[in-house]
Structures are given as structure tokens and as C-alpha cells.
Structure 1
């Protein structure tokens, strides 16, 4: 498929490396933007190997990625650095744990994210989309930061579906803690690279750590209060479902600490990644009036004057395609790293025990030998052609550790995007393009500023 001639200039991209670097420059670049250490050759090559203090391999080959993510998963646990960055906030939750401890938690939590429970949470998403439309309407005739709006709506949704609004959960405190986590705790440092244990203080992380401790205490109280109070009269929320969840093999249930760590994981990951997918979708559609008009017509035909619901999703294929394409160009989790715990042979790489194995999903999604017009916004590629090989497109990872909340995230994102596109017209604010920066997630630094007009 070729990009239409009426598309504007290429969307913003991360400048990749065009020269070799050593360990100190690697550390400096990684602290600013994790994607800064990805060589430009990753857009052409299938595997790149090198050494910067330790041996490493970057994989852009779908067959090699499948081995790491699925076929020999146990040989490639999350890297030590990844765990040290994430454990302060997410504890030993599903996202961090490995082996048997991960498997039983996954089995216990999976029923809460099955199609029926997720669809039952649709009204919460619809109500939040309506509130967002009201806030955006108040800014019509001028510019609005759609990134901030998407952060707000997704945090509203995840806290409402988690606690049903009755646990006194402080959203502002949660927002501050997440931002501190991503901006301070999430930045890689020399101690992380050297593998220093978690208890060694990391300069610059004390303030964020205090906020996270307060958030954990609040989550612990919410869990204990719900244990004593029991579920409400309405549909069960996520906390209700996790309280009764058990491993179907062992019958084991989560402790308060395990439940708290997983709740915080679901809140941080579910809120942040969905907000990013939506924000980048608005950036892309805001600069493409023809496709925006197509999406608006689809949304208006399906919705009329109301907000979108879960039942509307089959009528919104182009809206869905916009989100798929936004996550191809700007995957929320743009960089994955694993530690090899045994020698292995991958297509194009001989891996030794202790090697760092990286999957630069951002580069994979823009690979010139996999995608046509890889740097252009072409949502039609998700409608006019078969879906690509599953290990060439990884917005939710894949294999046994595929994101447990993928269905939830896409349902929410389609509902919010359709609701707003049906009611408003968005155009770029001159000179306010976002800067894609990956720390833990790929954020639009500077915000997503668009002029808003009623449709």
C-alpha cells in the first residue's frame, strides 16, 4: 500500500543512532530517551549484536522474537535493570514476577479480563467519555492539550472500574505518584546498569518513592475495607473480581500485598498505556483532515448525538484502525529487554548466558523490510490487508505474557476516540508538535496541542 499524496509531512519520529557509542554515552542517551541507544540500522537489519560493557543483541526478526517471547520464554526473563526500575512501584506483581509465581497470578487474574466482565465495564467508559467531551467542549474555539485530557479520562476509568468510586482513592495523588515514578524512578542510572540491589539508594528517587509508599498504603486500606464491606449491589468491579479470584490449579488466593501490587500495576499500566495510544492517535488524526473526516462520519453514523458504548465497537472499524496505526508508529511500550539465563541459538545471533537481549518495538514497527511506507500514518493498512505476522506488531507484547488488559484498553480507547471525533474537529497548533520520549513508556513530551472546533 502506498501513502496517499494528500498526507502532510512525516509525523514526528525519534532520531536513531548513526554511529557507534560506548558505555558512558549509552548511559547518557538512555537516561534521556531509551530509544536513543537504538541504531538506525535497526530499521533495516533483522538482528544487531554488539558490546557496551556486556554483550547485547537487538532483535527485529519475527522468528527470533517469537523464540524469546513464546517458545523459550523461561530462558529470557525480564532484565535485571527492568525489574529494578519497575519493582519500586509494581512490587512482585504479574508484570515483574517470573516462573511459577507469575503463572499462578496470571491464572487467578485472567477471569477478570475475560470478554464478558470487560464488556460489563463499558458503561463506566462511556460515562467518562461523556465527561471528557464536556471538558473539551468548554475549550472549543481554542487550543487544548489532548494528552492531559487523555491522562484524565483513562485515570478516571481505571480508578472507577477498580474501586467503584467508594474507596476514597485520591486520583490527584495517584497522578502525581505515577508522574514521579515515570520521570524520576523510571530513569536508568549507573547503579541499575551495574546491577546494584534494590536497597541501594538511587539519587533522585526519594521524593517519588515517598509518593509511591503513600499510594501503596492507600491501596492496602482500600483492599482491607472491601474485604470487610463486601461487594456492592451493582456489577462487580475489578477489586471485587480479584478478591474472589483464585488459581484454578491450586485454589490459592492473593494476599493483600499481592492484590495491592497487582491493582497498582493495573492502574499504572492500564491508565498510562491507553492514554498514550489515544494521545498519539489524536496527534496523527489532527494533522490529517481527510482521514479525520472519514473517522468522524463513521462515528456520527454509529453514535448520533450520544457517547460511544461497548456495543458500538463492531460499527467503528476505522476508529479501531486509527488506534492500531497510532500504536504501530508510537508503541506505548517501545523497548523491551531480557536477560538470557542460558546459552541459546537465535536466527542471526549466538546468545550466551548473561547476554542482554533487546527488542526495540519502535524500530520493529517501522522496519523498512516489514512495512510499506513505515514512517507514514496509513490506518487503511489495518482494513485493506491481512493483519501482519503477530511478532512484527507488538503493542501489547505477545506470547504467554501478552498484556492481560489488552481487550479492556482497546474497548476504552475506541469508546473515547469515537465519542470525541463525532463531536469535534481537531487541527494542529502551529509549532507545538510533541517530542516522542521513551523512559518506561513512549510519551509525547510537550503535550498534544490541537485546536478544537465543534463539528
Structure 2
């Protein structure tokens, strides 16, 4: 493995060397199958836009003004790319993440109240309980190394299972987790047919089998949703209760069983995978820089006084939040987002034609030399004044009308879990076990995040 994939002598956290020369179609596909980050040129950290052609025309856009044009000013002209939709549709259907136009707008209006500040805050006790269980598991590990990636996946899935279905036994959470993991690992990789721009109706090898496994899980989910609709909400409404009661205020339309299911699966995927990855990278970075970790621990211990964090503590833990922000800059879960241009446009002088692929390489954007000082360095203090961060230069949750609907949920959960564990343990790296940033659908720490956890 390349030296740059590990912590180097200049105290730089793990990173992937970006491409320095163009490659052909077959090589490009092979590189994407291994790690989507491999296709990002080093130029993407230095230029406002770069263009090329690999079977079809593509553009990578890093200029904040041009990104605003894509995500806000002309959002209807830049829907999610066909490849993105083909990868995710078998798992999450025509949910909020994939839907476009009027179908997206009514779903967004119906779902937005579910993630109101009041509702998200009410879910805090579930997050606190998950943080406590995680602390107990880490303590029980004793003097052995702990894979914090696995711990964070367990913790965040515990949370999403509880807040989605109240963990009422109507839904086999393990089956859901396994089916989604199988799909991501076995079918969630770009096909050569995608790269070549072949029609959607041509089957993609590997995706058909995984889709069949997803079909059974969806049937089970539908049965659970219909049973809940017949039974009615519990004392404390969960996400399913809130969605069942939700209506588009403009049309009065409510979601069907299949629409509810697709959106719940979207929330399950996004509500645990991305937060788990953010936390795993945050723990890696805290172990990488003991000074940052000590400062964060002091803040957490002062606020928490030996207890787990709660929703009320989140605003009093600004440095913990800065660590999470910096982890999202260096290792964004969505390392690349892709759009398909519908109309002719010009972005930083680049001629955009209909059907061109337009990518925003979030991984490169967070390391762009014109947008950040010492971009490869870990420095949570750069987020001390969030107003100083140029909009559309930092996009961990996207932006514009399609900004992540669960962003506040994710941040609240991450702060609660990170603060709880840092207040009780000192994390140190395991020599030779640094993770490697690898993106398939999300940017994961390949090999896990193995750390020693010493009680304090």
C-alpha cells in the first residue's frame, strides 16, 4: 500500500494519493470498482473545474459559485445521475433520495415535519442509551484493541432501529441490516455497463441477485408498516408513526405503504451508515492527535460530570462538534456526488452539454488548496467560527433544497456518542493498523478503526 495511505512524518492523517494521469475506460472502471476516490485527479484539489471524456463527457466542479448553480440556482437542470439512481433504486426505490421534480417535492413536504427540532430532540434519550451501551462494551473489552468502526455501526443501528420502528419486534432488524450490507457490498459497485453508458434495461451482473434478496426484506417491511397502521402509534411516536400521520400540506397526499417503506429504508441507511462512518473517523482522528483528544475530553468531562451526554448538552460541547465537522471535511461519507445535466450551461468556463455527467468530488473539495489552509491537516479549530467557512466549499450534507433532511439528527447523535466515550476513555492507535479511506457507495475506513481504549 502507498505510504501516503498512512500517517506520515509530517503528521498528516491517512489519505489516498489522487490520480496524476488520465486512464482509459477499462482501467477507469477497475479503479472505480476498487475505490471511487481513485478516479479523482490531483487537479481537483487545485482547479475550479476539470473536464474529460471516458465513454461520455464528464466534468468535476470544485468552485463554490458553480456548485451553488448546480445545487441551488439550477437544481432542476441537474438531477441525480442515472448511475447513482441505478445503484440505489433496488434498495431504496423512488424515495426522497432518488425522486425528482414534483414527486420529490411532495415527499419532502410530507417528511420535513418528522425531522423538526422538537421531534429530533425528543429522540435524544435513545441516542444517550446507545452511547451508554457502547461505553459498557468498550469497557468490557479490557486491554484489547477495539474496532471502533464496528462499535459505531452497532451503536448507530441500535439508534435507528429504535427511532424507526420502536424496536417493537415487528421488523427483523438483523435481517434488514444484513440485506442492506449485502446490497452495498455485492451490488453497490459501478458496472462497466454504467461507465459505457449502456441502457438501464440491460441487467447489471450481481445486482439482480442482490435485488432479489432485497425484495424479501421489503415484503417484511410492508407487513410491519401495515400492522403498525392498523395498531396505531405508541406513547412516544417513532419515525414510522410520524410518517404515517404525515401529509403533504399542499396536496393533502399521504404516503402509500411502498412509499413509506422506501423512505424508511432510506432513513435507516442514511441514519446509521453515514453517522457511524463520521464517528469512526472522528475516533481515528482523536487517537491520531492526542492534543485534540485531551482538549475534547476536558470539555466533555466538564459538561457531563461522569454521565452520558443528552440533547441538552449538545450546544455546550462546541469543540466536540468541531471535531465532527473536521472529520466530515477530511472523510465525507458521500465522497463524490454525481448529476446528469439536462440543459446546456457554462460552469467556470466549462461548456456543459445535455447528458454530460457533472460531479462534485466532495473529498477533493474538502482538501482544495484554494479553499482551505493546510487542507490535509487535521485542525478542528478551523470550524471555531463557522461563519468563516465559505458556503458551498463545505458540503457534508449537501446544500440547496435537497440538503440532507436528517442532518440535525446525525449531528446530535454524533455529538452525544463522541462526548460520552471521550469523557470515559483515552484512545490510542494500534501500530500498523491505520485505516485506508475507500469509497464504494460511502467512504469507509477499510480495515476498521482499531484503537486501544484506556479508562480515565
Q: Which residue of 2 aligns with 1:327?
A: 328
Once the two structures are TM-superposed, the CA of residue 345 in structure 1 deviates from its matched residue by 1.6
Aligned to 1:273: 274
TM-score, normalising length from structure 2?
0.96
Distance 2:95 2:231 in 1: 25
Give the corresponding residue for 2:403: 402
Comparing 413-422 with 27-36, greater Cα deviation is found at 27-36
Partner Cα distance (2:44, 2:234) in 1: 52
- In structure 1, stretches of 5+ residues that fail to align are 1-6
Counterpart mapping for 1:285-364 below 5 A: 285-364=286-365
Cα distance between partner residues in 2 of 1:418 and 1:208: 37
Partners of 2:55 and 2:196 within 8 A in 1: no
Report deviation, 1:199. 5.0
Tell me which residue corresponds to 2:193.
Answer: 191
What is the aligned partner in structure 2 of residue 3 from structure 1?
A: none
Residue-by-residue CA offset, 1:283-319 (whole Å, 9 max, x unaligned): 1001111111111111111111211000001110000
2: distance between equivalents of 1:150 and 1:199? 38
Q: Residues of 2 paired with 1:409 and 1:110: CA distance?
A: 15
For each residue in 1:229-267, what CA deviation from the matched residue of structure 2 results, as whole angstroms up to 9, or x when unmatched?
Answer: 00012x211000000111000000000000000000000
Q: In 1, distance between residues paired with 2:386 and 2:86?
A: 41
Corresponding residue number in structure 2 for 1:24: 26
- Superposition pairs for residues 223-302 of structure 1, below 5 Å? 223-233=225-235, 235-302=236-303
| TM-score w.r.t. length of structure 1 | 0.96
Q: Which residue of 1 aligns with 2:3?
A: none
Q: C-alpha distance in 2, partners of 1:385/1:127?
A: 30
**Residues 195 and 223 of structure 1, relative CA distance in 2, 3 Å threshold:** farther
Offset, 1:362: 0.2
Q: Deviations over 1:304-344 (max 9, x none)?
A: 12110000011100000000000000000010111011111
SS of 1:291 mapped into structure 2: helix
1:216 and 2:256 correspond: no
Question: What is the distance in 2 between the residues matched to 1:361 and 1:387?
Answer: 19
When the two structures are aligned, how many residues end up with a matched partner?
Answer: 448
Q: Is the 8 Å Cα contact of residues 54 and 195 (structure 2) preserved in structure 1?
A: no
C-alpha separation between the residues in 2 aligned to 1:449 and 1:261? Answer: 34
Which of the numbers 121, 124, 138 marks the counterpart of 1:122? Answer: 124
The 5 Å alignment of 1:418-437 reads: 418-437=419-438
Aligned to 2:142: 140
CA distance in 1, matches of 2:41, 2:75: 25
Contact in 2 for aligned 1:333/1:395 (Cα 8 Å) = yes
After TM superposition, the structure 1 stretch with the greater mean CA deviation from structure 2, 297-306 or 206-215, is 206-215
Instruction: Determine the C-alpha separation between the residues in 1 that align with 2:131 and 2:386.
Output: 30
Secondary structure in structure 2 of the residue aligned to 1:13: coil
When residues 387 and 208 of structure 1 are mapped into structure 2, their CA distance, relative to the original with a 3 A threshold, is farther
- Range 97-106 or range 341-350, more displaced: 341-350
Question: Structure 1 residue 196: deviation in Å?
Answer: 4.2
Helix, strand or coil at the partner of 1:386: helix
Are the aligned partners of 1:8 and 1:287 in contact in 2 as well (CA < 8 Å)?
no
CA RMSD of aligned residues (A): 1.3
Report deviation, 1:411. 0.3
- Superposed displacement of residue 384, structure 1: 5.0
Instruction: Measure, in 2, the Cα distance between the counterparts of 1:62 and 1:386.
Output: 15
The offset of 1:207, in angstroms, is: 4.4
Shift of 1:183: 1.3
Contact 1:8 1:288 in 2 (8 A): no
Of stretches 207-216 and 15-24 in structure 1, the one that deviates more from structure 2 is 207-216
The CA distance in 2 between the partners of 1:38 and 1:72, in whole Å, is: 24
Determine if contact 1:308/1:419 at 8 Å carries over to the other structure.
yes
* Range with bigger deviation, 392-401 or 170-179: 170-179
Conservation of the 8 A alpha-carbon contact between 1:140 and 1:454: no
**Partners of 1:163 and 1:346 in 2: CA distance:** 44
**Aligned partners of 2:193 and 2:347: how far apart in 1?**
30
Contact 2:55 2:197 in 1 (8 A): no
* Structure 1 residue 451, shift from structure 2 partner: 0.6
| 1:80–1:195 CA contact under 8 A, matched in 2 | no
CA distance in 2, matches of 1:315, 1:8: 33
Q: Does 1:378 align with 2:390?
A: no
Residue 4 of structure 2: aligned partner: none
Once the two structures are superposed, residues 88-125 of structure 1 have per-residue CA deviations (whole angstroms, 9 ceiling, x without a partner) of: 10100000000000000000000000100000000111
Alignment partners' CA distance in 2, 1:41 and 1:436: 19
